[in-house]
């Protein structure tokens, strides 16, 4: 069996509802338990190093012009901007949550016009490639760190192309440019799939509901892709059928495909650990922080019952011991640190405000 142990960048891919987040959580825990320095960057991490969620993208000239028009915003934006070679990124969620009083609602709305999600495909490609290069340059200076990226190649990155009715040749050309930028990180690809794509679509519909599939179509129905597709959820299902396995087969670096049709997650985990030359290390002993914890500023609370966390939005998530007083959350890269009277959020934040690093929830 082919194995890979030198990768500094692990890409976890697959259609929605194939277990990418669960798999990434397992890999992160096992990498760390094997004594390796690792970081998992979730598909909706904020700010994301290679994708665009709630992010304004400006050229240097556009950024300078915006600051000239609104000089009072300069100090704040200089603190939060991400400067790349020729572009500037601004986390719009950070501004919305913490900066409106400082910059103003009108200025925020003007800044939001630069939301990358709304860019032409040509401009998206330009910003995306610079972002990948910026990420690769940073990681080149961290040779002891392994990065886990889930859904960063075959999902959101490619949606922009498919929605614009781009050809497979255009998509391959873009990915070739991405792969050239990350080549020095010795990337590997882990691809999760069901043998029958319709099974994955059915599972997604069962777990998230038809309304979710319809809402995706509703959001994007004005885009070129949908002009010749069925309306509603059926149009989004066509979207899911079109691309992923072809891209996996074309990917030029070490890769592993796992068919999850049978639901044997113990067996799939063994396959992954073998592929990455990792030992299967047991979780440490820990006492779960049972109770209800509240953050008054956010007006939100967390509930812990043994190994289950109830998030402020009502999601049930498993807790896995990281140490005696710290816990992984199974399918997001967020951790809970427990002091006895409080829970402190750690790990990597996602686009939910309660996951912000350092947020404290006190026991009630």
| pLDDT digits 0-9 by tens, 101-120 | 999 999 999 999 999 988 99
Specify the pTM: 0.91
Distance between CA atoms of 326 and 305, rounded to whole angstroms?
15
Cβ contact 226:217 at 8 Å = yes
The tokens describing 144, both together, are: 């002891």
The tokens describing 130, both together, are: 């610079």
Using one digit for the tens of pLDDT, what is the confidence trace for 220-264? 888 898 888 888 888 877 777 767 778 888 899 999 999 998 989
Q: For the residues of 123-176, what is the DSSP string, one character each? A: HHHHHHHHHHHHHHHHHHT-TTEEEEEESTTTTHHHHHHHHTT--HHHHHHHHH
Q: What is the pLDDT of residue 42?
A: 94
Q: What is the pLDDT of residue 5?
A: 64
- 45-49, 56-60, 146-150, 356-360: least confidently modelled range: 45-49
Identify the bridge partners of residue 304 per DSSP, sorted by sequence position: 291, 309
Using one digit for the tens of pLDDT, what is the confidence trace for 273-304? 999 999 999 999 999 999 999 999 999 999 99
Q: What is the pLDDT of residue 311?
A: 97
- From first CA to last CA, the distance across the chain in angstroms is 52
Q: How many residues are present in the chain?
A: 364
Identify the bridge partners of residue 293 per DSSP, sorted by sequence position: 302, 363
């Amino acid at each position: 069996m082919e194995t890979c142990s030198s990768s500094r960048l692990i890409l976890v891919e697959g259609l929605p509802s194939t277990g990418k987040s669960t798999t990434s959580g397992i890999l992160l825990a096992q990498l760390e338990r094997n004594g390796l320095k690792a970081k998992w960057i979730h598909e909706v991490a904020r700010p994301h190093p290679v994708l665009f969620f709630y992010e304004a993208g400006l050229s240097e000239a556009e950024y300078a012009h915006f600051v000239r028009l609104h000089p009072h915003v300069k100090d704040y934006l200089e603190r939060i901007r991400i400067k790349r070679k020729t572009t500037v990124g601004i986390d719009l969620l950070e501004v919305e949550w913490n900066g409106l009083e400082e910059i103003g609602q009108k200025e925020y709305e003007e800044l939001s016009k630069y939301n990358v999600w709304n860019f032409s495909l040509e401009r998206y490609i330009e910003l995306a490639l610079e972002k990948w290069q910026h990420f690769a340059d940073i990681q080149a200076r961290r040779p002891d760190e392994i990065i886990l990226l889930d859904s960063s190649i075959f999902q959101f990155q490619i949606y922009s192309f498919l929605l614009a009715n781009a050809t497979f040749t255009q998509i391959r050309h873009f990915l070739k440019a991405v792969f050239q930028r990350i080549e020095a990180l010795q990337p590997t690809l882990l691809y999760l799939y069901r043998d029958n794509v319709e099974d994955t679509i059915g599972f997604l519909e069962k777990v998230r509901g038809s309304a979710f599939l319809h809402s995706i179509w509703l959001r994007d129905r004005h885009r070129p892709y949908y002009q010749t597709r069925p309306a509603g959820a059926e149009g989004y299902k066509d979207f899911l059928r079109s691309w992923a396995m072809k891209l996996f087969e074309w990917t030029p670096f070490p890769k592993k495909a796992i068919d999850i049709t049978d639901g044997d997650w113990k067996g799939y985990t063994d396959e992954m650990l073998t592929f990455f030359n990792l030992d299967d290390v047991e979780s440490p002993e820990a006492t779960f922080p049972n109770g209800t914890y509240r953050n008054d500023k956010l007006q939100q609370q967390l509930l812990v019952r043994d190994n289950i966390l109830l998030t402020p939005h009502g999601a049930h998530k498993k807790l896995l011991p990281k140490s005696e007083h710290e816990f992984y959350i199974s399918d997001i890269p967020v951790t809970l640190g427990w002091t006895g009277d409080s829970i402190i959020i750690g790990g990597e934040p996602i686009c939910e405000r309660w996951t912000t690093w350092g947020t404290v929830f006190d026991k009630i």
